[in-house]
Amino acid sequence: VTPEITKWINQLIWQDLSPEQTVGYLKREMGISLHHETIYRLIYKDKINGGDLWQHLRIAKKPYRKRYGSYERRGKIKNRVSIDKRPKIVDKKQRIGDWEGDTIVGRDHKSA
Protein backbone atom coordinates (compact mmCIF):
# COMPACT_ATOMS: atom_id res chain seq x y z
CA VAL A 1 0.00 0.00 0.00
CA THR A 2 1.51 3.29 -1.10
CA PRO A 3 1.74 6.30 1.22
CA GLU A 4 -0.84 8.12 -0.92
CA ILE A 5 -3.37 5.29 -0.56
CA THR A 6 -2.62 5.10 3.16
CA LYS A 7 -3.39 8.82 3.38
CA TRP A 8 -6.78 8.24 1.68
CA ILE A 9 -7.52 5.31 3.98
CA ASN A 10 -6.70 7.43 7.04
CA GLN A 11 -9.01 10.22 5.87
CA LEU A 12 -11.89 7.83 5.21
CA ILE A 13 -11.51 6.05 8.55
CA TRP A 14 -11.36 9.44 10.31
CA GLN A 15 -14.74 10.15 8.68
CA ASP A 16 -15.97 7.04 10.55
CA LEU A 17 -16.29 4.82 7.49
CA SER A 18 -15.79 1.14 8.21
CA PRO A 19 -12.89 -0.64 6.50
CA GLU A 20 -15.44 -2.44 4.32
CA GLN A 21 -16.98 0.89 3.25
CA THR A 22 -13.50 2.30 2.69
CA VAL A 23 -12.68 -0.59 0.34
CA GLY A 24 -15.89 0.05 -1.59
CA TYR A 25 -15.17 3.77 -1.85
CA LEU A 26 -11.59 3.24 -3.04
CA LYS A 27 -12.71 0.74 -5.68
CA ARG A 28 -15.63 2.86 -6.91
CA GLU A 29 -13.97 6.28 -6.90
CA MET A 30 -10.30 5.52 -7.50
CA GLY A 31 -10.24 2.06 -9.07
CA ILE A 32 -8.07 0.71 -6.24
CA SER A 33 -8.80 -2.84 -5.17
CA LEU A 34 -7.91 -3.78 -1.58
CA HIS A 35 -9.16 -6.28 0.96
CA HIS A 36 -10.71 -4.91 4.14
CA GLU A 37 -8.28 -6.99 6.24
CA THR A 38 -5.45 -4.95 4.72
CA ILE A 39 -7.07 -1.83 6.14
CA TYR A 40 -7.51 -3.49 9.54
CA ARG A 41 -3.79 -4.35 9.51
CA LEU A 42 -2.95 -0.72 8.74
CA ILE A 43 -5.18 0.45 11.58
CA TYR A 44 -3.63 -1.91 14.13
CA LYS A 45 -0.13 -1.05 12.92
CA ASP A 46 -1.05 2.60 13.50
CA LYS A 47 -2.25 1.68 16.99
CA ILE A 48 1.04 -0.06 17.82
CA ASN A 49 2.89 3.06 16.68
CA GLY A 50 0.83 5.21 19.06
CA GLY A 51 -1.84 6.40 16.62
CA ASP A 52 -5.52 6.75 17.42
CA LEU A 53 -7.02 5.63 14.12
CA TRP A 54 -8.36 2.49 15.81
CA GLN A 55 -10.69 4.65 17.91
CA HIS A 56 -12.68 5.44 14.76
CA LEU A 57 -13.63 1.81 14.22
CA ARG A 58 -17.29 1.12 14.87
CA ILE A 59 -16.62 -2.14 16.66
CA ALA A 60 -13.26 -2.95 18.17
CA LYS A 61 -11.99 -6.07 16.47
CA LYS A 62 -9.31 -8.32 17.85
CA PRO A 63 -6.54 -9.01 15.39
CA TYR A 64 -6.35 -12.60 14.25
CA ARG A 65 -4.18 -14.95 16.23
CA LYS A 66 -2.35 -17.78 14.57
CA ARG A 67 -3.83 -21.05 15.80
CA TYR A 68 -1.05 -23.44 14.88
CA GLY A 69 1.62 -24.16 17.43
CA SER A 70 -0.76 -23.77 20.36
CA TYR A 71 0.05 -25.78 23.42
CA GLU A 72 -2.12 -28.00 25.61
CA ARG A 73 -3.34 -25.89 28.52
CA ARG A 74 -4.73 -28.69 30.67
CA GLY A 75 -1.35 -30.08 31.65
CA LYS A 76 -0.26 -33.65 32.18
CA ILE A 77 -1.42 -36.13 34.79
CA LYS A 78 1.39 -36.74 37.28
CA ASN A 79 2.39 -40.32 38.08
CA ARG A 80 0.12 -41.61 35.33
CA VAL A 81 0.27 -45.36 34.74
CA SER A 82 -0.30 -46.70 31.25
CA ILE A 83 -3.31 -48.95 30.80
CA ASP A 84 -0.93 -51.64 29.50
CA LYS A 85 0.98 -51.71 32.81
CA ARG A 86 -1.96 -52.26 35.16
CA PRO A 87 -2.33 -55.63 36.92
CA LYS A 88 -4.23 -58.40 35.09
CA ILE A 89 -6.65 -58.76 38.02
CA VAL A 90 -8.10 -55.39 37.06
CA ASP A 91 -9.39 -56.85 33.77
CA LYS A 92 -11.58 -59.28 35.74
CA LYS A 93 -13.41 -56.37 37.39
CA GLN A 94 -14.11 -58.29 40.59
CA ARG A 95 -13.25 -55.41 42.89
CA ILE A 96 -15.08 -52.12 43.30
CA GLY A 97 -12.24 -49.91 42.08
CA ASP A 98 -11.68 -51.93 38.90
CA TRP A 99 -14.63 -50.51 36.98
CA GLU A 100 -13.84 -47.89 34.40
CA GLY A 101 -14.94 -44.31 34.82
CA ASP A 102 -15.48 -41.96 31.94
CA THR A 103 -14.21 -38.48 32.65
CA ILE A 104 -15.66 -36.08 30.14
CA VAL A 105 -14.23 -32.59 29.95
CA GLY A 106 -16.94 -30.07 29.17
CA ARG A 107 -17.07 -26.32 28.75
CA ASP A 108 -14.47 -24.45 30.81
CA HIS A 109 -12.94 -27.83 31.70
CA LYS A 110 -15.89 -28.76 33.91
CA SER A 111 -17.77 -32.04 33.82
CA ALA A 112 -20.40 -32.41 31.14
Q: List the domain boundaries for the chain.
A: 3-56
What per-residue confidence (pLDDT) applies to 74? 74
CB 43 within 8 A of CB 53: yes
Burial of 19 (0-12, 13-18, 19+ CB in 10 A): buried
Give the confidence band of 69 by pLDDT, cuts at 50, 70, 90. Answer: low
Q: In this model, does residue 61 exceed pLDDT 70? A: no
What per-residue confidence (pLDDT) applies to 9? 93
Give the confidence band of 64 by pLDDT, cuts at 50, 70, 90. Answer: low
What per-residue confidence (pLDDT) applies to 79? 85
Please state the pTM of the whole predicted model.
0.52
What per-residue confidence (pLDDT) applies to 11? 93
In 3D, which of 11, 10, 2, 9 has the Cα closest to residue 23?
Answer: 9
Cα–Cα distance measured from residue 10 to residue 29, given in angstroms and rounded to the nearest whole number: 16
Q: In this model, does residue 72 exceed pLDDT 70? A: no
